[in-house]
A and B are shown apart, each in its own frame.
Chain A
Amino acid sequence: MRKVLICAGTGCISSGSPKVTEKFQEELSKRGITDIEVYNTGCHGFCEQGPIVIIEPDKTFYCRVEVDDVPEIIEKHLLGGQIVEKVLFHEPQVDKKVEKYTDISFYAKQQRLVLHNCGHINPERIEDYVANGGYEALRKVLTSMSPQEVVDEIKKSGLRGRGGGGFPTGLKWQFTKDAKGDKKYVVCNADEGDPGAFMDRSVLEGDPHAVLEGMAICGYAVGADEGYIYVRAEYPLAIRRLQIAIKQAEEKGYLGENIFGSGFNFRIKIKAGAGAFVCGEETALLTSIEGNRGMPRPRPPFPAVKGLWGKPTNINNVETFANVPLIIKNGADWYASMGTEGSKGTKIFALTGKVNNTGLVEVPMGITMRQIIFDIGGGIKGGKKFKAVQIGGPSGGCLPEELLDLPVDYDSLIKAGAMMGSGGLVVMDETTCMVDVAKFFLNFTQKESCGKCVPCREGTKRMLEILEKITEGKGEPEDLEILEKLAYNIKNSSLCGLGQTAPNPVLSTLRYFRHEYESHIYDKKCPAGVCSALLEYKILEDKCVGCGACARVCPVGAISGERKQPHKIDPEKCIKCGSCMEKCKFGAIVKG
C-alpha cells in the first residue's frame, strides 16, 4: 500500500503542513481512493524545506509542498506513477533535482540511528513504534537482565551524556543505583535551551516512545519507580505528544504497574518549564521541579546521591535516553564500534546559520566539521567564504577554518576551546563579525544568569559592557586583557555550569579572531561590516538612478532626494538597519 507521510513537526506546521494534510485527505476521499494511507510524522530535521511530504515505498521526497500542489501529486504520482518535478528537492552543490531522500546528500551522509523513526512513523500511534521494534529493549531488560547487567551494558557501550557535559552515562547510573534510598527518581532533561538547538524537540515530537522506553530501562537499572520529564514551556507540541505517548504506553502496559509481568513499576510525569535557560542545569532543574526559583545548588552532593526532594536521582538528556533502547537491542559492542576512542555512537547536531542545508543531522562521532558543513550542509550559502563555526551554543566556542578537519568528539572540542554542548552548530561566513557573535552569546548568558553567585551575576554583565563598548567603537587597548582576566576568573569561580562556560565564546573568538577585536579597537572598523556604530551607509551618486526605492523602505525617513536625482542619506537620522541597501537594485548603496 502506498503511504503519504506528511511532516507535522513544529517547523512544517508553521510552514503550512496541516493544510496540506487536510487537502490530501479531502482530495483522496473526493476521488474515492481508500488504499492510500495518509498520516503525519514528526520532524525530518530538514524544516527549512518544509512542508515535507514523503511517498512510500517510493522514498520520494517532496519539499515546500503547497496546498495547490496536492492534486497534482495525487494525479500524477499516486495515480500516474510519475514524479512531480517542481516539488522535488534541488541539490545546491550539483544544481540538480533529487527524487529520493536516500539520494539527497543532506541525508545520504548521515547515520540516523536515534532519528531513525523521526519522520517515518506516526508519533501519536504507539503501534507504529512497536511495529519498528519499540519496547523490545524494555522487554529484554525486564525479562532477561539484572539491573546491574543493564548498567554494565550501558557502561560498555561508552555512551556519554548528550546534554552537554558528556559524562559517562553508565557510570552515572551506577552512582544512582549504588546510592542508598528507599525512593529514587529518573529525570529526563528536555529543557533544551541552547538557542539554535532543536534536536531534543524533534525526538520528543517525532519519536516520544523512544525517550519513555529509555527512561523506563533506566528506572529498572537504578531502582527508581517514578520519572519526570522537564520540558521547556516553549514546546507545547512536544508536551502534547508526550502526554499521548504516556497514555498509550500505560494502556498497553509498557508503563505503570508490573510491566511485562516482571513486578517492575514505573510511572512518568511531565513538568513544564516556565522560561529560564538556567533550569537546564541539572540542580536548577530539580530545584524548579520542587517549585522554587530555578537557582542551581552546589555539587557535591550530586543528584545521584541527593536529588529530587533529597532522593537519589538519575538525570539524563532526551537524546541520551533515546540512545538507550538502541544499545540494549543491538548490544554494547555494536554501539561502541561507532565513533572515536572516547566518544561512541552518533550525535545529532542542529546545523544552522550561513549554510545551504540547515537542519538536524545525525552523524557518527569523530566525523570532521568539514564533512558536516560541506558534505551534508552543502557548503556556505551564496558561495561566500567560510569563516567560523560556533559549536555548543552559549557555552561553546567558535572554531576557525584551520580546525575544519578536527574530528568532532567531546575531548577534541574541549581542547580546541569549544564544547559539544547540546550540539548546536552555527556556521558563519565572512559577513559575520566575531565580536558581534561573542557579544550575542554573552548577552544571552547575561540575561539568563540566575543571579545567585557573584562572578556570573556581576561578571557577565561587565564582560557584556566591555564588548558593547568595543562594538560601539569605544574600545580601549587594555580592554582585551581585562576581558581575558575577567573571563578566567568567572570560569574559575562561578557556582554552576552557566557561569563556568559563559566566557567561552569570548575566549574562543579572542583566541582565533583576535585581529577582529583589534580592528574594532585600534582602527575603529568592523571588518565584516556588521557593527552598526562603526558603519556608515552612503549612496553612490554615480550609481543612484533616483528610483526612490530606498527612501520608501527606510523605516526612519533618513533618505531624501528628487525623483531621478541621486538620493542622500542623512547620517543623523539613519539607524543603520541596512534595508535600503538590500532594496537598491543598482548597487548604489554601500556601507563601510
Chain B
Amino acid sequence: MHRWLVALIIAMGGAAGAAASGLERVPAVSHPATAKECGECHMAFQPALLPTGSWLRITDGLADHFGEDASLPADLAASIRAYLAANAGRSGDPKVTRITEQSWFAKEHRFRASVWQRPEIKTKSNCLACHPRAEQGDYDDD
C-alpha cells in the first residue's frame, strides 16, 4: 500500500492493515538529549514503546543498565526521564523494562530461534536490522 494512502486512512479514522499492536507508527524521538544520550549504544527507542513505569525503572537505574554503565549527570538524566515518562505508551507491563519482553512484542515477532541468531541481527533489540525506518518510529514495513 502507498504510504500516503495509509496516512490518509489513518487520518480518516480508519485502521490500517493488521494494526494489532497499535505501534506500527509511533512519534519519533523529539527530545534532543534523549536522541543523543540514549542513541549512542543502540537506537534511541521511542517513548511510546514502553509504559511510564518501565521508563522510570530504566532512567532510575542507568548505572547498571542491562550490564552497562549508562549513567548521566543528574540534570540530564532528569530531563530525559521527564520526556520519556510524559510521552510513554499506554500499553505494556510497567514492571518489565525490556520492549522485547513485552507481550505485544512476542505476538508480533514469532520467529524461529535461528532468525534471532543471525549475525546481522545479533539481538532482538536491534530493531533497525529489520525495520529500516525504525529511527523515525515507522515499524510498518509492508
The answer to whether A and B come from one shared complex is: no
